[in-house]
Amino acid sequence: MVTVTVPSQRIVYQFRIMCSRIAAIMYRILSRLSVIFLTLIFPVGVFAAPRPVDLLKVDNDEIVTRGDFIRAAVNILGLSIKEGGELPYPRIPRGLIPYISTAYNKGALDHLGDDLRLGQGITRGDALLLLVRLMNLEPELSPSRSFRDAPKGTLLGDAVQTAVEHEWMESFSGSLFGVRRILLGQEARLLLGRLGKEVTIPKKPERIQIRFSLPEQKELPKKDILQTIWDLLNKQFLYDDRIDPEEAAYRAAESIVQSMKDPYTTFMRPVSARNFQTQIDGEVSGIGAQVEYVNEILTIVSPLPGSPAQAAGLKPGDQIILVDGETVIGLGFLEGVEKVRGPKGSSVILRIRRNGADFDVTVIRDTVKVPEIKISWQGEVAVVQLIQFGRSVDNGFRSELIEIQKRKPKGIILDLRNNPGGLLHAAQSVLANFLPLGSTFAIIRTRGEEVRELTDTSPTIDRSIPMVVLVNGGSASASEIVAGALQDTKRARIVGEKTFGKGTVQQVIEFNDGSSIKMTIAEWFTPSERKIDGAGIKPDFALANTDNRDEQMLKALDLLR
């Protein structure tokens, strides 16, 4: 799985009716793919920032992050700042520590979980819970209105009731308050302003328009029918309390994407999008296995080292047929994955199909930290194992290779067995250590162009040091980019079994409510233009392991000695 991410470029949309919302999503996706290079030097939506001090340093239609809102709320309420102090949360930026400490000591952060994820957009519900806890407020009146997404008698329901009493925020509709909607800059400023404090509320910003051409814009099919259906349901459907605009929009988006019949193109609701992001960040919850959707069946690419899946004996190529007695064949990739996942410590019974035989396996779920880089030595040969191509590899691999070079090894074994891939840039970071600056390591072909991907830093490992790369059927995507490039350039010899054969590139585009679309946008080829999708990388020395011996590792060591 190769994923190209576009950080900090989020698509902003706000529509009241389902059809318009869907049309905007499709238009924005096409627009972003065409304008991405323009935005690097002259961003669409450049705003003239107001001069008065503004505690929320985001534009009116941009997402307000959890960290920004906590800092603004603590400041606007005039709370006594708690300097420093020990916090139970990971990755707190130094500049936010005083504000997080203040909110933590007020007991205002419990609802945000064990990892605050301060760069994530804050929802309307989370913002209200934070405020009422910071202010020690409780509802003064019995609830006059009830919302389906904020039931009476719950903490969230009480926070919403307080907001209604004080006229802090308007509900999304008569029966839905909109607690799961992501808070945008303008609404956040209005909310903070209604606390009775002075806060800058800028006028509607003037956008600088950039004209650009799209390949060919396609209107949403049958949009007049969809609009009419939505109008009829809202006006005449008997059970009006069942009308949920957000659920309808999500299901429509899912149906559009599923009609593409591409297992790697998926629409992810906010929860699924967060789960996907934690996987790339190096943390996987559930059974601890990387999976792909092959012929409408969840198929294990590789169990992670030390994971519950590995402990239960699951292997690459295993197909998951049933989860706790329910079929997941044809259910969809994300829906199937959500069935397999569950709370830490809970058990799940998987019906596994292996080589035509079906059997049940019980797995105890857990949270698995992915140790992406493992380095060991076999005498004077460095063995570098990469578990996946995530952010740890992207950020830390080069420093590890510098240390290896200092020891002047007689050879390097790069072990990519059961590595399912990850970030394209992480693959580039790995290859830059072994290939000359400016070397082509992959050819990316989209619908409209061909791009040669080049290494952008000088190598850390001397070319005189020989290399062997280990691969097997669980080596996929970014692993195949690396193995293919090293094979084509004759920098390394490949030992093992034919790789998985996934040669398409996905891009993740995130929407302002936390949902996102992961979409296939290109296919990649090796530097010599070999096709990988469906074919895989064939090793120079084809060799399978036996039950008792790692024949592939032994062959690699023999080649280097």
| Residues tagged active-site | 477, 488, 502
Residue 148's closest CA among 128, 130, 173? 173
For 21: left if phi > 0, alpha if psi spans -120 to 50, otherwise beta; the answer is: alpha
Length of the chain: 561
Residue 269 CB burial class (10 angstroms; 0-12, 13-18, ≥19): buried
Which residues, in sequence order, are CB contacts of 204 under 8 Å at separation 6+?
A: 60
Distant-in-sequence, close-in-space partners of 383: CB < 8 Å, separation ≥ 6:
375, 376, 377, 412, 413, 415, 553
Q: List CB contacts of 283: < 8 A, sequence separation 6 or more.
A: 367, 368, 369, 370
Q: How many angstroms separate the CA atoms of 420 and 479, rounded?
A: 7
User: For the chain, what is the largest distance between any 2 Cα atoms, rounded to a whole number of angstroms?
Assistant: 80
Residue 70 CA to chain centroid, in angstroms?
A: 24
Residues facing 453 on adjacent strands: 442
Q: Is 259 exposed, middle or buried (0-12, 13-18, 19+ CB in 10 A)?
A: exposed
Evaluate whether 382 touches 434 at the Cβ level (below 8 Å): no
- Cα distance between the two ends of the chain: 34
Q: Which residues of 31-60 are buried (b: 16+ CB within 10 A; e: fewer)?
A: bbbebeeeeeeeeeeebeeeeeebbbebbb
Who contacts 466 (Cβ-Cβ below 8 Å, separation ≥6)?
410, 411, 412, 492, 559, 560
